[in-house]
Amino acid sequence: MGRRRFLNLLVQNNHDDMYSLRRIPANRLFYPSTRAAEAAAMAKTQDAGKRPHPGALHFMDRFRNFPCPLLNLQPTPMHHRNERSLDLVTLLGDDETKILTADNYGHTVLFDAASYSVVHFPKLNCSKGYDAMAVSINRAAPQEPDCLYVLNLRTHPTTSNHCFEVLSYGGFCERIPIWRFLPPPPFTTTTQTTITSYTVVGGDTIYVSSKLCGTHAFDTVSRQWRPISSLWSMPFLGKAEYVPELKLWFGLSCHHPHSLYACDLTNIAQGQLHTWLDLDIPESWSQIRLDLISLGSGRFCVAKMFSSMMQDDEIDMEFAVLTGLQMVPPRGTKDDQQVPWMVKHKSIYYPFGYYNIKRVF
């Protein structure tokens, strides 16, 4: 994956429940160089002792002008109720201009941010629920088109046959994509559980983990599942991202969700884990949602939504903090020379008022 130019936001209007897609330049979260980021961090450390601690907000930039919408969306109302929701929003493959959305009924729309055009896509065979897994597999061979795999993370034996689908080509017309059901993870046919983490390993294999059922792998070529371990689960919360320059998978820690974790999933027996604290969170901040977004070349955005139990002029009741991080090759003493180095860049604070940030991707 190349370095991304934009960070995408799914925003909900609190007055009419209308959703909108917005974007900010990814470089807004980053200093021009790692040296500049480290110099800024040093200045903040020196300044910390001179100020009272207002939730670390004085170290953050603030959204002054919220980005204008690229597209407004209104999901289908739910049966007998006026509630509307977008269950899925994701990039389609490595092309950051192609954004796919699915609502609570499985209706899908593809938005092209380059041409500002909208294409009606085939409907999911079955809605995958809020916060479903969406993983793109990018084929190396040009004759094999990219595929999008979607999985319901909250599994139940009665619905397991409908929980996993792929958007692919090759139906009655090779140019028209269709949704196809795939074999569900084996444990979903007998156990009600929640898939806590997922990622892609080796370019064409999807790993999923559940605390109750361990880790399983889905081979997207043979379309078969196999167990990795019934006792071991990946140490991540949500999606983990592979950084080829460092040969490690990175994700938010399932045990310490305000920390970044890394491990080598090709050698789980070794048990080599690394962790970094990316943001010092005051006790009065209660997390609502956490996301890790890979921006390419070892750069990440950590998107965290909070509510605050301490009300004053500095902190709003609900807000988001977007933090830019960069993982660089190991450096330092002989003891830690194999451990990558985390460089903190900028953090942006956005208070929820008229608009709420529902998803960052």
Task: Tell me the pLDDT tens digit for each residue of 68-126.
Answer: 899 998 887 766 555 678 889 999 888 899 999 998 889 999 999 999 999 988 999 99
Give the whole-angstrom CA distance, residue 361 versus residue 7: 6
Q: What local confidence, expressed as pLDDT, does residue 145 receive?
A: 60
CA separation, residue 288 to residues 76, 133, 355 (Å)? 25, 18, 16
Phi, psi angle pair for 27, to nearest 5°? -70, -5
With 0-12 / 13-18 / 19 or more C-beta atoms within 10 angstroms meaning exposed / middle / buried, residue 343 is buried
**Tens of pLDDT, residues 298-329:** 999 999 988 877 665 556 688 899 999 999 99
Where is pLDDT greater, at 268 or 81? 268
DSSP 3-state assignment of 134? strand
Give the whole-angstrom CA distance, residue 171 versus residue 26: 37
What architecture (CATH level 2) is domain 6-76+84-360?
6 Propeller (2.120)
Give the whole-angstrom CA distance, residue 296 versus residue 349: 23
Where is pLDDT greater, at 84 or 143? 84
> Are the beta carbons of 212 and 176 closer than 8 angstroms?
no
Tell whether the model's pLDDT for residue 213 goes beyond 50.
yes
Structure tokens at 169: 């080509």
Helix (H) or strand (E) holding 44: helix 34-48
Mean per-residue pLDDT for 152-174?
83
Give the whole-angstrom CA distance, residue 344 versus residue 218: 34
**What stretches of 26-70 adopt beta strand conformation (E)?**
61-62
Confidence of residue 63 (pLDDT cuts 50, 70, 90): confident
Neighbours of 290 (CB within 10 A): 16
Q: What local confidence, expressed as pLDDT, does residue 59 receive?
A: 66
Structure tokens at 103: 């609502």
Look over the chain and give the mean of its residue pLDDT values, rounded to a whole number: 85
Q: What local confidence, expressed as pLDDT, does residue 334 receive?
A: 52
Where is pLDDT greater, at 332 or 12? 12
347 CA to centre of own chain: 17
Structure tokens at 85: 């929701």
Structure tokens at 90: 């994701």
